[in-house]
Amino acid sequence: MTPPATSPDRLPIAGLLALASAAFITILTEALPAGLLPQMSAGLNVSEALVGQLVTIYALGSLLTAIPLTAMTRRLPRRPLLLTAVGGFAAVNSITAFSTDYTVTLVARFVAGIFAGLLWALLAGYASRMVAPHLKGRAIAVAMVGAPLALSLGIPAGTFLGQAVGWQYAFAIMTALTVLLCIWTRLQVPNFPGQRASQQLGLRAVFVLPGVRPVLFVTLTFVLAHNMLYTYIVPLVGRAGMTAVVDRVLLVFGIAAVFGIWITGVLIDRWLRAIVLTSTAVFGLAAVVLGLWGDMPALVYAAIAAWGVSFGGAGTFFQTASVNAAGDAADVAQSMIVTVWNAAIAGGGIAGGMLLAGGNTAWLPWAVAALLAVAGGVTWQARASGFPPARST
């Protein structure tokens, strides 16, 4: 069945929301163990620290395989490949739901990370191919909205569900939702051909395309800065005596992030460069506020909200910039974004931990502000390609 045709000036909402739901499932699958540490620890008969590694191994699967797997599958039709990636989550979440063995669960999580790396490499390029060129950014924004919704709503809801009915049932329910998503995707998402061999660029050729390297570098520094703060949000807000209300802090961040992606979706097709520069500046200002007045709860909430707004659209504006820079090689460029993003997640935990090892949480915001200053400088320099000025109407 072929999805209904869409006007060149309208978004194919049903198809884009299917992509957004895939992003939602991906983030929820990745992060849910963090919210169910005690339950999974008891069920798998291992320590909570080992359960935490289920998140790490997932990210490692994406980090190691996104680029080679995307390069290997460039010639395949896009919808069957997308359905394989989405269906893979149904399989691995089923294994997680029924497994009582930690090693089996660990392997399933690594395989889930592989499917996630492939899916993230596909989503932005897929969304951009479903619309007219002047709607690319907005389409990617809709496809990416599943990520902040998963962080702000899905993970708290999944955690509550897992605590109420058991963590295995939570993963089983995700499997059922993923099966429904496969049907939705088959009905509403169009198929596209893969690339012919004559169209394919090697990894190095994609990497050196004008604009690709600045986008990758700014993505790395921006996401690294985010994860240095987000990973250690509890000790960070502890300076203001807010440890007991960290759930409210995260809710403020999540709501602000959803607002941020909405703003990004409205403006991105014309003002991509301005959005990236403004988001970097606002995030940097929030870090400075946390550095100077991180012991004042009202200002902490304000800084967290500003940080959330600035980060909410990050996936959208970096992937849009990557798609614009790479052209027909968008999927390979997206796999590089996936790799850089996951490296920044791991690096944020390591770098933030090293700063905290000195026993002074106050260093974190200043390190983040320095990273964002570098990101802003590279963005400003990348006028010719990567982050060009607004196009004329």
Domains assigned to the chain = 13-199 (1.20.1250.20), 203-381 (1.20.1250.20)
Q: Note whether 120 and 86 are within 8 A (CB).
A: no
**pTM here?**
0.83
User: Within a 10 A sphere around the Cβ of 5, how many other Cβ atoms?
Assistant: 8
Residue of 354, 351, 344, 342 lying closest to 57 (CA atoms):
342
Provide Rg for the chain, Cα atoms: 20
Burial class (CB in 10 A: 0-12, 13-18, 19+), 272: buried
- Report residue 293 CA to chain centroid gap: 29
Q: Note whether 316 and 141 are within 8 A (CB).
A: yes
- What is the residue type of 362? A
Extract the tokens encoding 268.
Answer: 């991105």
User: Within a 10 A sphere around the Cβ of 301, how many other Cβ atoms?
Assistant: 18
Extract the tokens encoding 221.
Answer: 């520094």
Q: What is the pLDDT along the chain (393 residues), one digit of tens a residue?
A: 555 545 556 889 999 999 999 999 998 998 888 778 788 989 999 988 788 888 888 988 988 988 899 888 888 999 999 999 999 999 999 999 999 999 999 999 999 999 999 998 889 889 988 998 888 888 988 998 888 788 778 887 888 888 889 999 999 999 999 999 999 999 999 999 877 654 567 788 889 999 999 999 999 999 999 988 887 887 888 889 998 888 788 888 888 988 998 899 889 988 999 999 999 999 999 999 999 999 999 999 999 999 999 999 998 999 899 989 988 788 888 889 988 998 888 788 788 888 887 767 788 999 999 999 999 999 999 999 999 997 654
The alpha-helical segments, DSSP class H, found in the chain are 13-35, 37-44, 48-72, 78-98, 102-129, 136-144, 146-149, 155-165, 167-188, 203-207, 212-231, 233-238, 246-293, 297-312, 314-326, 330-357, 363-381
